[in-house]
Amino acid sequence: MTLTKTSLIGFACLSLFLTGCASSLKGDTYSRDEAKQVQTVKFGVVEDARFVVIEGTKTPIGTVAGAAVGGIAGSGVGNGTGAKIATVIGAVAGGLAGSAAEEQLTKSQGIELVVRLENNQIISVVQAYEEDSPFHIGDKVRVLQLNGSTRIAKMHNSHYNKPY
C-alpha cells in the first residue's frame, strides 16, 4: 500500500512540475517579458494550413522526479544489498519513465500556417492550434515579430479600415 501511495504522490508532483514548466505557443498568449514591447507587424493572407505535432519539453524535471519516485519504490524491495540494487534499478527506470512522461504530457497539437505577405513573400509559421479560433485558407492575418519569435493572429477588421 505504501508503494502505491508513494507512486501516486510522485506522479502528482511530476504533473504539477510539468504544468508549471509548460509555456504557451498560442498566437494570442504573451509572456510577461513580451508585454509592453514593440513588435514588427506585417499583414498577409493564409495560403495553406496543416496540423502538426509540437514535441513535448525535455527538461531534467521529469527525469529527476521519476528517478526519485523509482528510487523510493525500489528501496522497499528486499533487504541489504538487494534493496540497494533495487533502489538503483528503480531510480534508473523511474528516470527514464519520468522523462518519457514529461515529453508525452507536454506535447501539443500545432498548426503550420503558410502566409502570403502583402509584398508577395511567402512565410511559414508553426504555433499551437487554437480550437476555438481556427485558421482558414483566405483568412487575413497579422504576422507579429518580437525578439526572433513570430506569431500569427487573425484580423478581425481590415487594417485599411478605421481603428476599432
CB 97 within 8 A of CB 66: yes
Phi-psi region of 148 (alpha: psi -120 to 50; beta: other; left: phi over 0): left
| Residue ranges in the chain whose pLDDT is less than 50 | 1-3, 5, 7-9, 11-23, 161-164
What digits encode the pLDDT tens for the residues 82-92? 767 777 777 77
Domains in the chain: ranges and CATH: 1-23+56-106 (no CATH), 31-55+108-164 (2.40.50.840)
Q: pTM higher than 0.85, yes or no? A: no
Query: What is the predicted pLDDT for the residue at 32?
Result: 81
CA–CA dist 136, 155 (Å, integer): 12
